[in-house]
Structure 1
Amino acid sequence: MTGKPVGRRTVPINPATGQPYPPPYTILDPLDRVSDDRTLADRHTTAVCDYQATFVSGPTPGTPDSRGGDEQAQWMTDRAWKLIERRTDGAPGYQHPLAIPGVHCDRREAREAGGTSDGSDGIITSVIRFRFFLEETGA
């Protein structure tokens, strides 16, 4: 969604160089996963999955004494909110579908969970926690 590199549980690595990408980037951490949707008809074909996305702003490579900025971190956070954006034509569903073979995402939730509070830090972060309600489609 942001167009910037994403690392799963770690700083993203550039496959061409084997080195970490410089900021800005996103770190995606899987959190909780529950297989019971707490409905009477639960067939255990559902899952509720939580993920945390940490959007990292940082110094400009090659520029001494540069720092990450809140504007950059907030720009990435604003782009990520599009993940839960509803369709604009009034039809059910989401503007940006999740392509997971054999799985339908019934509902999505998100909440901002904080970030770096000190603007003088060299790296600025912003955090969103996403929750996805998934169900097997059998396809």
Structure 2
Amino acid sequence: MMIQRGPVTQGVKQLLALVTGKPVGVRTVPTDPATGRPYPPPYTLLDPLDRRSDDRTLADLHTTAICDYQATFVSGPVPGQPDSRGGDEQAQWMADRGWKVVERRTDGAPGYQHPLTIPGVHCDRREAVEAGGTSDPSDAIMTTVIRYRFFLEETGA
């Protein structure tokens, strides 16, 4: 069998929502299910990027995958304050929370502090690189971008 992208994306989305405590939208602004309206910033936009499934063996059974994602952490105006704007402090706070995706366990045990839950799949390694963002505070919204790479293997469970 092959590792499917959909469950991986849902697992990454849940992990980002856990570490930021803010809503996450896949390829679009997240929507409040209670109202059907977009959430105001801050939130995270999650974009699936590259996916590779070659484990570089002669008998490759496609039981491994390397999946890349881009998370755009969006700051914004304070609701109810018409002249407020997203600022550097909020953008950096969101990015700092985003780095928790690759935070190692504090008790010295192997693995990561925050779980990436994907049914039937284990992630044995995670990588992250901060890739920039917007820098013009007059835009009212500022962003920071982190790109993640997840090394996955089927568990058979």
Structure-1-length-normalised TM-score: 0.94
Q: Is 1:57 equivalent to 2:72 in the alignment? A: no
CA positional deviation for 1:101: 1.2
The CA RMSD over aligned residues, in Å, is 1.4
- Residue 128 (structure 2) pairs with residue 88 (structure 1): no
- In the other structure, the counterpart of 2:20 is 2
Of Structure 1 and Structure 2, which has the larger fraction of its residues in strand?
Answer: 1
Gaps of 5+ in 1: none
- The offset of 1:23, in angstroms, is 0.6
For the 8 Å contact 1:69–1:123, the answer to whether it is kept is: yes
Q: Does 1:14 align with 2:38?
A: no
Tell me what 1:107 maps to: 125
Matched, 1:74 2:92: yes
SS in 1 for 2:95: helix
Q: TM-score, normalised by structure 2?
A: 0.83
* Correspondence 1:26 to 2:44: yes
- What's the offset of the Cα at 1:91? 1.8
Give the structure with the higher percent helix.
2
Per-residue Cα deviation, 1:68-110 (whole angstroms, up to 9, x for no partner):
0111111011011111111222221111121111101011000
CA contact (8 A) 1:30 1:50 kept: yes
3-state SS of 2:35 partner: coil
Decide whether aligned partners of structure 1 residues 125 and 88 sit closer, same or farther in structure 2, where only a CA change above 3 A counts: same
* Unaligned segments of structure 2, at least 5 residues: 1-18
Return the alpha-carbon distance in structure 2 between the equivalents of residues 101 and 123 of structure 1: 35
CA displacement 1:2-61 (0-9 Å, x = unmatched): 001111100011111111111111011111111113356743200000011000001112
For 1:49, the aligned partner's letter is: C
Aligned length: 139
Matched-pair identity in %: 84
Q: Distance in 1 between matches of 2:25 and 2:65?
A: 23
Partner of 2:114, secondary structure, is: coil
